[in-house]
C-alpha cells in the first residue's frame, strides 16, 4: 500500500495535512477550555476522515437533526474530555 | 475554513457562545451535585451541536420516548460522571 | 431558556426533584451493594430523562424483550460500576 | 413508586433476589478467572433486567446469530473486565 | 437454573471449556504482542458466546463486509487493549 | 481450529502478517504524534479484520458518507488516544 502509485485516487487517498490537536497540547487553563478542546479534537477527527468540507456540511445537517447521532457525538466528546481532564489533573488547585 | 466569509450560512455555522461547564469547575460538594453536573454537561454539548431550541425540543420528544436513545443518553451521563467523580477523588473523606 | 414562562409545557420541562444518587454517596460496604448502586444510578438517569412512570413502564416492556437494548443497558451499568468500584478502591482489604 | 400496591404487576416489577457478583468479590486468583467473572457479571445484569428464563433463552438465540449483537455483548465484557483487572492490580506479581 | 436437568438443551447451554486468556496473563513483552492479545481476547469472547464454528464463519463474513460492524469490533479491541496496556505499565522502560 | 487444513479458505482465514502498532511503541514526542498513532492503530485493526484492500476502499466510501459511522469511528480513535495519552503521561513536562 505504501509505494503504490495510484494517480487517479491519490488526492482522495492522501490524508490532508491537518492539525489534529490545536497547539499540540492537552493542557488548558480551565475546564471550560478543556471542554472546548475536546469538541475541537472530536471535530478534527471527522475532518480527517471526511476532508471534503461540502460533504461534511451535508453530514452535519443530517446529524444535527437526528437525536441518536447527537447523543453518539456527545459520547465522543465525553471520551475526549476524560483524557483531557486527566491530563490537567482535573484542574485541581 | 477560517477566513472565509460565508454570509448565508454564517449564523448557522458560528458556534454560539455558550458555557460548556457551569462555574468552570468539575469540583462539587457532593456526589449528587456531581451527578447533576454530569447531566448538565451532557445537555450543554447537545445544545452546542444543535443550538436551535425549537429543534432540540422536538428531538427531545423523540428520544424521551425511544428506549434505545434513553439508554444511549444514559451512557453519555455515565461517561461524564466518571470524569467528574475522579476529579473529586470520589468524594472520599 | 431560564426566565421564560411556558405555561403549557412547564410541567413537562421542569426537571422533577429526584435524587440521582441514593444516600448521596458512592461508597458501599461490598461489591454486591456497589453493583446494586450502579443499577439504581442507571435507572435514576432514565427516570430523570423520562419522568412519566407510565411511559417508562411501556419503554421497559420494549427493551426487556429486545436483545440489543438489554446489552446496551448492561453497558451503562458496567460504566457506572467502574466508577463506583474505583471509588471504593475495589473493596480491597 | 415505593409504597404503592400494584397487585397485578407486582410479580413483574419486584426485582428478583439474585446475586449480581458471585462470591461478592472482584478479586480472583488469575486473569482467566477474572475474565470468567466478567462474563458472569455481564450475564447477571441481563438476568436482573429480564428475569424470565424462557424469554432470555429466546433473546440469546437472537443475539447469538447476530454479528452486531455479539460484538456489542463483547464490549460489555471488555468493560466489566477492565474493572476486575484494575481491582486485581492486573495480577502483577 | 443451577440444579435443573435439561437433557434436550444441555449441550447448548453448557459453556464450552475454552481458554479466555491465552497463557493466563495480561503481561506481554511488547506493545505489538499486547495488541495481538487484545485481538485474541476479543475473539475468544465471541467464540464463548457462539461456540459453533460454522456459524461464527458465517457471522464473520457478514461483519467483515459491514463498515459499521468493523468499527464496532475495533471499539472492542480498543477497550481490551486499554486494559492490557495499563497492566503492562504501557511498556515504559 | 488450529491443526485443520482448509486448502480452499486458507488464504482468507490466515491473518496477514501486518504490524498492528507502528514502531512497536505507544510513546511519542508530542500529543499530535500520539493522535496520529491513535488513528493508525484504529485503521490497522480494520485492516487486520478486512485484509482485502479493495473491499476496505469500498467500505471506506460507505462510512465516509455516513454520519453515524464517522461518529462511531471517532469514538474508536478517542479510545485508542486515551491509552496512548496515559502511556505518555499526557506529555506533561
A38-42, E51-55, F86-90: least confidently modelled range: E51-55
Please give the pLDDT value at position A64: 87
C-alpha distances in angstroms, E50 versus A32, B66, D73, E41, E58?
45, 29, 11, 14, 11
Contacts of A90 in chain B (CB under 8 A): 26-27, 83, 86-87
Q: Is the backbone of residue F66 left (phi > 0), alpha (psi -120 to 50) or beta? A: beta
pLDDT in tens, C19-62: 999 999 999 999 999 999 999 999 999 999 999 999 999 999 98
Please give the pLDDT value at position E63: 85
Number of H helices, E strands in chain B: 4, 0
Q: Is the pLDDT of residue E92 over 50?
A: yes
* Residue B74 falls inside a structural domain: yes
Contacts of B68 in chain A (CB under 8 A): 68
Between CA B32 and CA A47 the distance in angstroms is 37
Total domains present in chain D: 1
Query: In chain E, what is the greatest distance between 2 CA atoms, to the nearest angstrom?
Result: 55
Q: Which helix (H) or strand (E) holds C60?
A: helix C53-64
Task: Give the residue ranges of DSSP H helices in chain A.
Answer: 10-13, 31-49, 53-64, 67-87
Please give the pLDDT value at position C7: 40
* Residue E41 falls inside a structural domain: no
User: Between helices F31-49 and E67-87, what is the axis angle to 10°?
Assistant: 120
Q: What is the pLDDT along chain D (93 residues), one digit of tens a residue?
A: 333 333 443 344 445 479 999 999 999 999 999 999 999 999 999 999 999 999 999 999 988 889 999 999 999 999 999 999 999 999 998
Query: In chain D, what is the greatest distance between 2 CA atoms, to the nearest angstrom?
Result: 55
* Residue F55 falls inside a structural domain: yes
DSSP secondary-structure letter at A6?
A: -
* Residue E16 falls inside a structural domain: no
* Residue A53: pLDDT band with limits 50, 70, 90: very high
* Residue E88 falls inside a structural domain: yes
Q: Is the pLDDT of residue A11 over 70?
A: no
Please give the pLDDT value at position F50: 92
Mean pLDDT of chain B: 86
Please give the pLDDT value at position C63: 85
Mean pLDDT of B57-80: 94
Read off the C-alpha cell for A66.
Answer: 437526528
Mean pLDDT of chain E: 86
How close B50 gets to chain A, by Cα (Å)? 6
Residues 6+ apart with CB under 8 A from C15: C48, C51
Contacts of D69 in chain C (CB under 8 A): 67-68, 71
- Tell the burial category of F27 from Cβ atoms under 10 Å away from its Cβ (0-12, 13-18, 19+): middle
* CA within 13 Å, CB half, A45: 32
Please give the pLDDT value at position B4: 37
Q: Which helix (H) or strand (E) holds D79?
A: helix D67-87
Q: Which of A31, A42, A92 to mutate to test the interface with B (most CBs of B within 10 A)?
A: A31
Q: Which of F25, F49, F60 sits opposite E31 (nearest CB)?
A: F25
Subunit contact F45:E71, Cβ cutoff 8 A: no
Between CA D89 and CA E14 the distance in angstroms is 31
The fraction of chain F above a pLDDT of 70, given in percent, is 83
Which residue in the block uniquely carries the three cell numbers 497492566? E87
Please give the pLDDT value at position B64: 87
Please give the pLDDT value at position D59: 92
For residues A17 and B36, the model is more confident at: B36
Q: Is the pLDDT of residue C8 over 90?
A: no
Q: Is the pLDDT of residue B7 over 50?
A: no
* Residue B93: pLDDT band with limits 50, 70, 90: confident
* Residue B52 falls inside a structural domain: yes
Please give the pLDDT value at position F93: 80
Between CA F87 and CA F90 the distance in angstroms is 7
* Residue C8 falls inside a structural domain: no
Q: Is the pLDDT of residue F39 over 50?
A: yes
Q: DSSP 3-state assignment of C64?
A: helix
The count of CB pairs under 8 A between chains A and F is 86
Between CA D60 and CA E1 the distance in angstroms is 15
> C-alpha angle with apex F75: F38 to F43, nearest 5 degrees?
40
Which residues between 24 and 83 in chain D have a beta carbon less than 8 angstroms from any beta carbon of chain C? 24-27, 41-42, 45-46, 48-50, 55, 59-60, 62-63, 66, 68-69, 72-73, 75-76, 79-80, 82-83
Task: Mark B66-92 as b/e (b = at least 16 C-beta within 10 Å).
Answer: bbbbbbbbbbbbbbbbbbbbbbbebbe
* Domain carrying residue C56: 30-91
How many residues are there in chain E?
A: 93
Q: Is the sign of the CA dihedral E54, E59, E63, E65 positive or negative? A: positive
Mean pLDDT of E24-40: 98
Q: Is the pLDDT of residue B31 over 60?
A: yes
Subunit contact A91:B25, Cβ cutoff 8 A: yes
* Residue E3 falls inside a structural domain: no
Q: Is the pLDDT of residue B8 over 80?
A: no
Give yes or no for a contact between C86 and B88, defined as CB atoms under 8 angstroms apart: no
Please give the pLDDT value at position E10: 38
Nearest CA in chain D to E57: D67
Name the residue among F60, E49, F82 with its Cα closest to residue D68.
Answer: E49
Mean pLDDT of A20-42: 98
Please give the pLDDT value at position E93: 79
* CA within 13 Å, CB half, F37: 25
Nearest CA in chain C to D61: C67
Between CA D79 and CA D41 the distance in angstroms is 11
Amino acid at each position: 500500500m505504501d509505494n503504490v502509485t495510484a494517480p487517479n485516487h491519490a488526492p482522495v487517498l492522501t490524508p490532508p495535512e491537518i492539525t489534529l490537536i490545536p497547539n499540540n497540547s492537552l493542557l488548558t487553563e480551565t475546564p471550560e477550555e478543556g471542554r472546548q478542546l475536546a469538541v475541537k479534537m472530536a471535530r478534527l477527527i471527522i475532518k480527517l476522515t471526511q476532508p471534503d468540507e461540502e460533504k461534511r456540511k451535508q453530514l452535519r445537517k443530517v446529524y444535527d437533526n437526528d437525536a441518536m447521532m447527537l447523543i453518539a457525538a456527545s459520547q465522543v466528546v465525553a471520551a475526549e474530555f476524560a483524557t483531557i481532564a486527566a491530563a490537567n489533573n482535573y484542574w485541581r488547585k
